[in-house]
Amino acid sequence: MAIQFVATELTDDERALQQEVRAFCESHLEDGSFEPGLGMMVARSKELSLELGRRGWLGMALPTEYGGGDRSVVERLVVVEELLRRGAHLEQHWTADRQSGPVINRFGTEEQKRRFLPPICRGELCFCIGMSEPDSGSDLASVKTRATKVDGGWTLSGTKIWTSNAHIADYMIVLCRTGESDDAHKGLSQFILDMHSEGVTVNPITFLDGTAEFAEVVFDDVFIPEDLLLGEEGDGWHQCTSELSFERAGPERWISPFLLVELFLREYGSSLNPEARSFLGSSVSRWWGIRQVSLSVARMIDEGLAPSVQSAIGKDLGTEFEQTVVAGLQQLVDLEPSLSSDRLFHRLLARAILISPSWTIRGGTNEILRGIIRKGLA
């Protein structure tokens, strides 16, 4: 059976929220007041994160008793969409808000929820994700980093790599081996690791555009207290794969180059030739369609369904499209891209060219996603 999506649309309440966020963005994210970026990991602004927390726009779908908003995935989509399309700096809270918070809420102990969720909802905590290793990328179940049981907790040894935000993160949710099973998927566990623990070394890895987005993280007998085991010992693979499917089809998977197209239209406007107008038309329509996919997936999650295949489709369609947009724009404008240009459109185009290959890699390569989708079609 082919995979289908059910059409949905914003409710009146959701539209009211959208208006509220738009008004906020107009007053807090004015043109020229910051250097906008493309996507979810542009730069961090602690002030913006705290302000979003004050407004109740972080941890939106988390329970109110832990500081969350008890709101829906669709409402979170509405908020994130408006921020991302303006290139806001969300790096400080991004991972915690999208991924770590929901995972702690789902698998964490009562004590962990009381400890971590309120500051996540306030925008105070930066999390990173410890999954990939030098020899484990798409084959995630082959991780070698190991936690060994000791008195009062565990000691962690090994190396994580290509970890976004490791240099600024307060905590990492780390996937590691705790058992001896021959089955690669068994014997894995997750921990909430304090990045300031003794024995944690963060070695920055320069990203293609020159930023310090990536790092290698080395664990040299790092002690993790017993109470920071996340979920069940040995259940890490299941927890981790459910984490990966969380909102895989969110706006960050299709909206990244939007600002670039907006600037393109502003700069070149009515002088666009028919070819450029057709490109613009195709892009706008496809964006509209992919956004409908994203909205449909969010609604399914809110209805208690587990649309992992639909999410994977959303991410594959969305990220491929993002790259098509960047390539298409590059073909339409006759300029040599430069990160130091005095024109924002040129700077962003240059950055897009450099970072866009990551869009179909991060969070699970599209090749791996297609394997998931293929299985769902059987």
Site size for another protein (CB under 8 A): 50
Near another protein by CB under 8 A, which window of 106-114, 126-134, 201-209, 276-284? Answer: 276-284
Distance CA(76)–CA(60), nearest Å, equals 6
Q: Does 32 bind another protein (CB under 8 A)?
A: no
Q: Which of 27, 32, 288, 334 binds another protein (CB under 8 A)?
A: 288
Q: Which residues of 149-171 are buried (b: 16+ CB within 10 A; e: fewer)?
A: eeeebbbbbbbbbbbbbbbbbbb
Q: Which of 85, 122, 146, 238 binds another protein (CB under 8 A)?
A: 85
Distance CA(250)–CA(74), nearest Å, equals 10
Q: Does 7 bind another protein (CB under 8 A)?
A: yes
Q: Does 280 bind another protein (CB under 8 A)?
A: yes
Q: Does 290 bind another protein (CB under 8 A)?
A: yes
230-259: contacts with another protein (CB under 8 A): 258
Distance CA(336)–CA(328), nearest Å, equals 15
Q: Which of 54, 114, 266, 343 binds another protein (CB under 8 A)?
A: 266
Q: Does 12 bind another protein (CB under 8 A)?
A: no
Of 37, 34, 30, 29, nearest to 211 (Cα)? 37
Q: Which helix (H) or strand (E) holds 200?
A: strand 200-205
Structure tokens at 225: 């207290």
Q: Which amino acid is at 165?
A: N
Of 117, 152, 146, nearest to 224 (Cα)? 152
Of residues 127 and 254, the one with the C-beta less far from another protein: 254
- Closest contact distance (angstroms) between CB of 136 and another protein is 19
**Residue ranges in contact with another protein by CB under 8 A:** 1-7, 9, 18, 81, 85, 258, 261-263, 265-266, 269-270, 272, 274, 276-282, 284-293, 296, 310, 313, 316-317, 367, 370-371, 373-374, 377-378
